Structure 1
């Protein structure tokens, strides 16, 4: 939006903006610079939401189209590409573009992990007197939550559950750890690559908005 249009919107009579407390206030009761920032942020977030929806539609279309091509090849030519699980890599004839498709199981940690952690800590308190610091660190890392997502790593929990520890309650702790991991379905990924020559390295077509160069 051009500067002139922004100033016209700023001076629009009778305009109201919702404050942080949920109440509507006349726009002219806010500082002009705050209104300009407000408008820009609202526009950019709305545009990002539209872009996300377009990407979601494109992703659904791409996977539906891949399945159609896969079925067509199977029906018409008796050949098979890819599978339900694992990875699929499709390369163009000139070998300068390719698409990688992967399907992974999604696992999450359930609230039962709290009781499992208490049991593990009880076992550790019985076993450790400070002499086995490595084992203590493995246990501590298993229950650390990701700072951004607030989630516990299922990989670390599985690693902890795989340890063989000589304690009468450890089998019970192992079972509690494994039962605290829930299968949350599957997730499909599609990645696109291009290279300039057959000797050039593959370059990912990065669809991460923040990674785009401007």
Structure 2
């Protein structure tokens, strides 16, 4: 028997297959497990809401402080606000606002790869095995089938004068597209009298 979506008769529960089951037929351990899960889920919802409120308030307060600091020195802040660190007067606490951008490559990456392959064909005979390894590793996709952007961008740090390589590196730079960004608040406390800080754990990235 299948339960109606909003009508569950008294004395019955709906199981994971959406079937009506009499409570008298449910084992006490299963009822205790259900009660525990529902209790923890409700606490998680309250905690998640609290973190969301903290995150919104923290970003608002930091934005307001940055604006106030800019006004103090007659500076005007335009565009998207970036990363900023705030430290308490005694140096015990540090708060960082971090904005992490997601980068993807457009079709120009294929042109860059073709130019790089031209270089590699010519160089392989003359031996630059470390460069070949770096290139092949950079263009190898991850488990989701995506190019690993950090490794591709790392190729631009190689100092190679070949004109084709330079054009390939330019194509890589132009192929970079910012497809999104995430904002984070990180809170730290200084470790004793050292210059090291340890994070105060807050997993608020997803709220």
> What displacement does 1:68 show?
1.9
Matched, 1:188 2:186: no
Q: Give the match for residue 8 of structure 1.
A: none
Q: CA-atom RMSD, angstroms?
A: 4.3
Q: Distance in 1 between matches of 2:66 and 2:130?
A: 49
Unaligned runs of 5+ in 1: 1-11, 210-214
Q: Give the match for residue 25 of structure 1.
A: 19
Q: Give the match for residue 4 of structure 1.
A: none
Out of 126, 133, 145, the position equivalent to 2:129 is 133
Contact 1:145 1:152 in 2 (8 A): yes
Q: Which has the higher contact order (CA 8 A, sep 6+)?
A: 2
Are residues 167 and 31 of structure 1, via their aligned partners in 2, closer, same or farther at CA, if it must alter by over 3 Å? farther
Contact 1:96 1:194 in 2 (8 A): yes
Unaligned runs of 5+ in 2: 1-9
> What displacement does 1:62 show?
0.3
Q: Distance in 2 between matches of 1:179 and 1:165?
A: 19
> What displacement does 1:79 show?
4.5
> What displacement does 1:100 show?
2.5
Q: Distance in 1 between matches of 2:74 and 2:193?
A: 25
Q: Give the match for residue 202 of structure 1.
A: 197
Contact 1:107 1:181 in 2 (8 A): no
Q: TM-score, normalised by structure 2?
A: 0.62
Out of 104, 107, 114, the position equivalent to 1:112 is 107
SS at match of 1:128: helix
Are residues 125 and 101 of structure 1, via their aligned partners in 2, closer, same or farther at CA, if it must alter by over 3 Å? same
Out of 12, 31, 42, the position equivalent to 1:14 is 12
Number of aligned pairs?
A: 188
